Chains A and B, each alone.
Chain A
Amino acid sequence: MTHPPSPWRLIDTGPLDGPANMALDEALLTCFDRKSSLPVLRLYGWDPPALSVGRYQDAAAALHLSRCEADGIPVVRRMTGGGIIFHAQELTYSIVCAPEQVGQVAGVKEGFRRLCGFLLGTYQRLGLTASFATDLNPAGERLGVRAAFCFAGKEEFDVLVNGRKIGGNAQRRLSGAILQHGSIPLESRVQDGLSYLKEAAPAAAESVSLAELGLQPDPDRLKQLLVESFEECLGVTLVPDRLSRREYEAATLLEQNKYRSPRWNIEGQA
């Protein structure tokens, strides 16, 4: 007997600013009940462009904050790990689920492999050859070294196209639930991001975007390919949905009290 695919919620919020985006991701995680909630795939973008820093990064040590302010580039702290990302022309996703909803993945690394698989499928649907860094490491490059700028480092389950890192992914684990978010870069804005860093990150120049690979997919078509890949990879059905009132209200409070506050964004104080 075969079971019908499990339903997941698909929430497309469109582009929002950095604080609103990060508040919404946290609200989806904190409103999620592993016993009673459907898991979520959210799609979004960033308007205006923004820099995000990882949960435990020292923003003042890593970034020219006065330059960010002068250029009107907001700095927002994620609740997930990882390094600094400059968000501009990208399709961003977030996943909220319990480990048992994605095949009871054992550990963080296996979680990344399971939850990033749909990205490989999306790139493959675009005609690209994509793989995980751990499966394509001919030069014996050292993986997993902590880097201040996300695109300057490679983890085992980073996605590579033609041997170059494409996008970045990070997780938060909270009371048995997982939030993972990440990006598909449409155009490379890495150089723009580098200009705000205090330390050079030459390895970041090796990262790549769809435009640099000669692809400019229609945004709706790209979302459709991503959805198809996600459903196939995880054996689920994505059902278009909206934020619940509870999620919306939680996001509004988080945005006001946390993600628009320098105390969180710059100092990292919850």
Chain B
Amino acid sequence: MAKFFTKEHEWVEIEGALATVGISEHAAHELGDITFVELPQVGKSVKQFDTLAGIESVKAASDIYAPLSGKVAQVNSKLEDAPETVNESAEGEGWICKMEGFDAAELGALMDAAAYAEYLKGM
């Protein structure tokens, strides 16, 4: 399934019962060298657009928001030792977590890739 994006530059991609979440290539570029990713606890429940995780780059701390409501099923523990993976592949290997128990209808509040590209042009 295709990726959907938030206005705060997170992405989500649904595959079966799991929704993979990360930050966009644009966000990773804007953040600069990422030095730390605060992964969410597995089992944590969040509402759509609530704070899900944290990220630090160049002494700037930022929040990562949940693109969908649901429960954290897995985290990308590779980022604990290699946070720079997010810079290298924000929309691939640098995913943050996988969520379960979501409602795909919430995708309606997000942008598809084309709409997100337009959104970035307007920034």
Contact = CB atoms under 8 A, between A and B. Distances in A.
Interface in B8-56: 8, 29-33, 35-36, 38, 54, 56
Which of B56, B58, B59, B60 has the most CB atoms of chain A within a 10 A radius of its CB? B59
B56 A107 contact: no
Which range holds the interface residue count of chain A?
Answer: 20 to 34
A39 B101 CA distance: 41
A174 B63 contact: yes
Interface residues of B, number: 18
Nearest to A82: B59
* Most chain B Cβ neighbours within 10 Å, of A54, A80, A82, A108: A108
B61 A54 contact: yes
A168 to B, nearest CB: 8
Contacts of B56: 54-56, 81
Main secondary structure of the interface of A (DSSP, over half): loop
A207 to B, nearest CB: 15
Nearest to A145: B35
A139 interface: no
A173 B60 contact: yes
B36 A146 contact: yes
B64 to A, nearest CB: 11
A132 to B, nearest CB: 12
Nearest to A112: B58
B58 A108 contact: yes
A183 interface: no
Contact of B57 (A83, A108, A157): A108
B40 to A, nearest CB: 12
Interface in B55-90: 56-63
Nearest to B51: A270
A171 B31 contact: no
A12 interface: no
B87 to A, nearest CB: 11
A169 B58 CA distance: 10
A56 B53 CA distance: 11
Contact of B32 (A56, A108, A146): A108
A79, A83, A109, A111: residue with the most chain B Cβ atoms closer than 10 Å: A109
A169 B59 contact: yes
Given A56-B54, A56-B56, A81 B32 contact: no
Contacts of A107: 29-32
Interface string A81-110: 111000000000000000000000011110
Contact of A55 (B8, B54, B58): B54
25 contacts: A54-B61, A55-B61, A56-B36, A56-B38, A56-B54, A79-B61, A80-B59, A80-B60, A81-B35, A81-B57, A81-B59, A81-B60, A107-B30, A108-B58, A109-B32, A112-B60, A146-B35, A155-B58, A169-B59, A170-B59, A171-B61, A173-B60, A173-B61, A173-B62, A174-B63
